[in-house]
Amino acid sequence: MFTFKQFAIEQDRCAMKIGTDGVLLGAWAPIDNHPFSILDIGTGTGIIALMLAQRSAAQQIDALEIDEAAYEQATDNFENSPWNDRLFCFHAGLDEFIEEPEEEYDLIVSNPPFYYEDYKTENESRDLARFQDAMPFEQLLEAADLLLSEHGIFTVIIPFKEEENFIALANEFELYPLKITRVKGTPTTEIKRSLLAFSRNETTDLPIDELVIETARHVYTQEYIGLTKDFYLKM
């Protein structure tokens, strides 16, 4: 069990364990538009949805999970949380979920499964297939365009090397960057992740900043502590 300040998460049945990416997105996702409804696409353990339940007053927080074991675990994690009346998990794939959209959401978040460069097998075509099996960015953006309310915000965390491509794709769906934070493990390492927020309105003054997680092993920066202190027990 992984225990946070206001909730706990069981993750033994989930392939995607709690990691820094999910916590970053859950803490960083803008809620300045006071979302009434939130959708977490590919919820896994439910970590991001739970963090947003803690951070916001949203009355409807829906999550989507295709993997049956993860879906069951996320549902349990929701039910055991202080916000179980606001959280609901659907067991479905994204393509199935958007066939008959019934809702619009003021905030859509996703930590999409992506291909890790350090995961290589002897079989190149299989590696490529695994990359294609990860949630295609086009599908994610199509869903965001379909499900996002007029003044809604769509946020993701993706590998930094995909940032330019993702922004160009989002532009095709008339979703425009609202805020960008690039994440580095330490001050001397290269940028690894991009936190991206999009809206339906183009902005002329796009805020772009950088977040460094630690200065040495387990020595966290003030910025990272400031972002996550409401969640981690030891922050």
Q: Which domains does the chain have, with CATH numbers?
A: 2-228 (3.40.50.150)
Strands, E, within the chain: which ranges?
2-3, 8-9, 37-41, 60-65, 87-91, 105-110, 148-159, 176-184, 191-199, 208-212, 214-216, 219-220
Record the tokens describing residue 73, joined without a space. Answer: 């675990």
Nearest Cα to Cα of residue 185 among 229, 227, 217: 217
The model's pLDDT over 101-141, given as tens digits with 9 standing for 90+, comes to 888 999 999 998 765 555 555 666 555 545 545 568 999 99
The torsion defined by the Cα of 145, 149, 152 and 153, in degrees rounded to 10, comes to -30
Q: What is the pTM of this model?
A: 0.91
Record the tokens describing residue 94, joined without a space. Answer: 């994204």
Which stretches in the chain have pLDDT values below 70? 114-135
